Structure 1
Amino acid sequence: MATVAAAVAVTATLAGCGSDDKNSATATSTASTSAAVVATAPAPTADQLQAVLTAFADPAKPAADKAKLVVDGDKRIPLIETMNQGLANYAVTFTVGEIKTSGNQADAKVTVGSPHGSMPDVPMSFQYVDGSWKLADSGACTILGMARAACQP
């Protein structure tokens, strides 16, 4: 996404340099500002990331809906369906702790709770895509693996 934003900014700047139109400086400035906004993601809150995880592990939520919570989630639908079956009568909770962001990436330490106990400091990755924070494929694979629906390389 940052590459696209940079390309838009460069294209807008080059277009502005070759024009005699007095409004070209304004257009260039607006295009550059818009590109910067696209490249900068708002810092996620623990509640936002926890909501993504909770929805992803909700066995009542259809796999197609869960796929929308994951970057490129459509490729994981069969595994999500397997996870849904495994979690049908099994409650899983998440508590998001330390969050570190860099651009449109966020890494968090998550405590995963289950009827058998909790697992602290599980690393989870998220990406800011299409205006919302989504579970990165690696984060989805971590949860799917816990539900015995492991991703294959």
Structure 2
Amino acid sequence: MATAVAAVAVTVGLTACGSDDKADTAEASTTTSAAATSADHGAHGTETAPTADDLKATLVLVADPTKSTAEKTAVIVNGDKRTANIDQMNQALGAYGTLIFAVTDVKVEGTTATAQVVITSPHGSAPAMPMTWEHVDGKWKLSDAAACTMLGFAQAACTP
């Protein structure tokens, strides 16, 4: 958890102080994602490995201020315990601008997927950080720890 908090602190600092260079944002938006192959399976052999685009879609949904809290809690493991944080994040992101995600190096171990994620805000890019997803109820959902990292960007940090 300390690593996640440190990553959020560094990332928030970098995105707040990053460049406003439109070329940085354009370059990040054109970054291609490395996809895991659909032939890979989890430890039980029944879970289809998510692609980088699958995982990116959850991040895009969580960061979209036009999406409802209910839509967001549905893609987060135990998301119902983060509704107040999500409401706070939606308010903060409403006038902030679009976040762009580059997801690479997807690795699946059993029912957990880990990927490197670069988040680009209107103020610049944060360094790549690992995020995790869990295969729950037949879907790949953003882990609670990764959701808390996202919520921290909007100063809606999770409390224990």
TM-score category (smaller protein): 0.7 to 0.9
Gaps of 5+ in 1: 1-35
| Counterpart selection for 2:100 from 77, 80, 93 | 93
- How has the CA–CA distance of structure 1 residues 101 and 61 changed in structure 2, closer, same or farther, with 3 Å as cutoff? same
Q: 1:115 maps to what in 2?
A: 122
Unaligned runs of 5+ in 2: 1-41
Runs of 4+ in 1 over 2 A off after TM superposition: 36-40
Quickly say closer, same or farther: Cα 1:42–1:146, change in 2 above 3 A: same
Contact persistence 2:43–2:110 (CA under 8 A)? no
8 Å contact 1:40–1:104 — kept in the other structure?
no
For residues 45 and 107 of structure 2, the distance between their equivalents in structure 1, rounded to whole angstroms, comes to 17
Which of the two has greater helix per residue?
A: 1
| CA shift for structure 1 position 41 | 1.8
- For the pair shown, the structure with the greater C-alpha radius of gyration is 1
RMSD of aligned alpha carbons: 1.6
- Pairing 1:49-68 to 2, within 5 Å after superposition: 49-68=55-74
- Structure 1 residue 75: Cα displacement: 0.3
2:109 to 93, 102, 111: 102
Equivalences for 1:31-70 in 2 at 5 Å? 40-70=46-76
Partner amino acid, structure 1, of 2:66:
A
Cα pair 2:47 2:111 within 8 Å, conserved: yes
Structure 2 equivalent of residue 31 of structure 1: none
Q: Secondary structure at 2:61's aligned position in 1? A: helix
Q: Is the 8 A contact 1:40 1:103 kept in 2?
A: no
Q: Which moved more, 1:114-123 or 1:140-149?
A: 114-123
Alignment: residue pair count = 118
1:11 aligned partner: none
Letter in structure 2 aligned against 1:68: A
| Letter of the 1:94 counterpart | F
User: What is aligned with 2:78?
Assistant: 72
* Maintained 8 Å contact 2:58/2:142: yes
Instruction: Please report how far the alpha carbon of residue 121 of structure 1 lies from its aligned counterpart in structure 2 after TM superposition.
Output: 1.2
1:87-134 CA-partner distances (Å, limit 9, x unpaired): 002211111011111001011110001011011312111001111110
Structure 1: how far apart are the matches of 2:79 and 2:48? 22
Alpha-carbon separation, structure 2, partners of 1:122 and 1:80: 21
TM-score, normalised relative to structure 2:
0.70
Once the two structures are superposed, residues 7-30 of structure 1 have per-residue CA deviations (whole angstroms, 9 ceiling, x without a partner) of xxxxxxxxxxxxxxxxxxxxxxxx
